[in-house]
Structure 1
């Protein structure tokens, strides 16, 4: 496949929700100290995109990298508890820096610490998605990092490249921009092949792209081009465009969002919104059944509605909030989704309208819906 052709990036101008990932090598100097000049450049661009009306999510590496020199390390140790200690120290320092800089530009931020496991556990996925959506709705910029201080298997090559793609999928982003220390994907390794050419666009993802990707990145970072291709594969199959670009390029984010041809663009597949939910919902065990009336059946199938308590007539099985349940009309399975409520609470609120939920529960109702349409996969 000819990847060297250029393409029209006018569609970038229509993007509304953007996830930006930045790596350790971009936000620190060679000696491991924080690069405040770069972080100011980054946060100013993100704040400006927010002021344009875009939803912005930042996925940042760097907790371990920032923490190492603070604890007297000159290189990354092999001993896992030392890495976790560095993450614990560095995370606070890094977040404090982001918070200060974003506040200078009038932006509120919220910190979220995740692991890749949060996206494959239905309950944690539900809360992860809900927190990101709430922060964006309330005008804040979510700042996401891997929870390296308490995780073990996630501290490995490319964790935050993969994490950024997962966050983009969970946040239902239109675009993921991975900022790196290289211009984009090349036909060969440009460090050892002077004739290597930059690939401007990948119109259709192919596994052959892995053949031209290398190993790990810098000594301070963990991600190489190979892991960025892995992230691209996740994004493309989720219907999300992805761009790899050089982090220190002047005004790189603003220029990308202006439609300028910078870096390598991976075109997302034309994925039906329902199919984006299939893996997380179908891939988990069904813990119970919810039976609905005829009016609810029509609302789910014909109007794309959420599952409201008023349309529920029966519950079968024992399940907790965050579990996957099947929705039935008589003996026909209509849909599957992630429940906001346990089976016990669904029994209390079924048949009730929204204004009566709190009284039925005996406490303030946390949700108006039993299954929100964003977490509901229609089966029929």
Structure 2
């Protein structure tokens, strides 16, 4: 069975009902301080942590004294704008005593649907994690409309887990796992400890949202589990209302684990390898040898560029004899790649007239 003790990169989803008192509309400060202790514990082990957090609209609604119930879109967006700054400040203040820096990352569905924006988001999150920062991710409710919304942070958390290559995702919920039926309505409902495969029978057991603050129900959690496990990430649903919920989960608290299919890196490589290439990049012998050692492709080793591709498009990489070495997602357009081929990384800005990324194709975006 999956366990948090082995987590190397952990994504934790936190719903509004856990963060915000549904009666007063204020932040549950004791709960968040205790969560910060959990985060510090995993960081001390060398585990990267990403938080996907709801709560901005709930906090902003209370601050603006808006009525309970459904809000017009404009008021929801205004509440998000007011609440998000409070939410980010709360995370910053509670993580700071542990020597941990927090970063705010606001996204929309378009950021994952558009490959270039997806790669930019991935690069930003990777850089933050590499610097030891804990990204606090939320949907950008200030600008998102129904057409460009994730709609709930269960789906967003799964997408973030895929984006950063997480091996564990925890959905902190108001229930302690996935049941055969709604336990609030059916006393005979049975909780699953482990789900190895999400079958049509499992899907039929899912219900809808029950909390007045949260948007997600078991259906969205199953959708999240499909996304995460398909990318090699184990997912747990557990009761998040207790203090230090991650410690409780690791200590054996009731939960449901969904088993991953393979590992995150292998799943991502398969996804890239299955793409249809939009162009080709030829490299010299030195670059070919570097790729064989698992290095990224730098412009200095590029000898030839063919095709009409954009940033984020798949391209093949070939050695001097024309043999294909890899498939990768390129970080420059074809025109830019032509200009910087053969250039050292410190020459890119001079050639293009603006700063660029050091790698033409990063090793994490490459399948060999």
Instruction: Please tell me whether the aligned partners of residues 284 and 303 of structure 2 are also in contact (alpha carbons under 8 angstroms).
Output: yes
Aligned-residue CA RMSD in angstroms? 2.6
Instruction: Please tell me whether the aligned partners of residues 59 and 160 of structure 1 are also in contact (alpha carbons under 8 angstroms).
Output: yes
The TM-score with structure 1 as length reference comes to 0.87
Instruction: Please tell me whether the aligned partners of residues 169 and 236 of structure 2 are also in contact (alpha carbons under 8 angstroms).
Output: yes
Question: Structure 2 stretches of 5 or more lacking a match?
Answer: none
**Matches of 2:31 and 2:272, distance apart in 1:** 36
Do residues 233 (structure 1) and 223 (structure 2) align? no
**Matches of 2:51 and 2:189, distance apart in 1:** 31
| Residue of structure 1 equivalent to 2:22 | 30
**Matches of 2:70 and 2:273, distance apart in 1:** 39
**Matches of 2:148 and 2:341, distance apart in 1:** 44
After TM superposition, give the deviation of residue 327 of structure 1 in Å: 2.8
Count matched residues: 366
After TM superposition, give the deviation of residue 172 of structure 1 in Å: 0.8
Task: Report 1:56-95 matches (<5 A).
Answer: 56-95=49-88
| Residue of structure 1 equivalent to 2:136 | 143
After TM superposition, give the deviation of residue 121 of structure 1 in Å: 1.3
**Matches of 1:191 and 1:157, distance apart in 2:** 27
After TM superposition, give the deviation of residue 225 of structure 1 in Å: 1.3
After TM superposition, give the deviation of residue 22 of structure 1 in Å: 0.3
Do residues 345 (structure 1) and 336 (structure 2) align? yes
| Residue of structure 2 equivalent to 1:181 | 174
| Residue of structure 2 equivalent to 1:112 | 105
What per-residue deviation string (whole Å, max 9, x for no partner) do you get for residues 163-182 of structure 1? 00010111111100000111
The TM-score with structure 2 as length reference comes to 0.90
Task: Report 1:1-380 matches (<5 A).
Answer: 7=1, 9=2, 11-31=3-23, 32-153=25-146, 159-257=152-250, 260=252, 262-271=254-263, 273-279=265-271, 286-294=277-285, 296-297=287-288, 299-300=290-291, 302-329=292-319, 333-354=324-345, 357-358=347-348, 361=351, 366-378=356-368
After TM superposition, give the deviation of residue 116 of structure 1 in Å: 2.5
After TM superposition, give the deviation of residue 68 of structure 1 in Å: 1.2
Distance 1:357 1:256, change over 3 A: farther
Distance 1:133 1:335, change over 3 A: same
Question: Structure 1 stretches of 5 or more lacking a match?
Answer: 1-6
Higher deviation after alignment, 338-347 or 166-175: 338-347
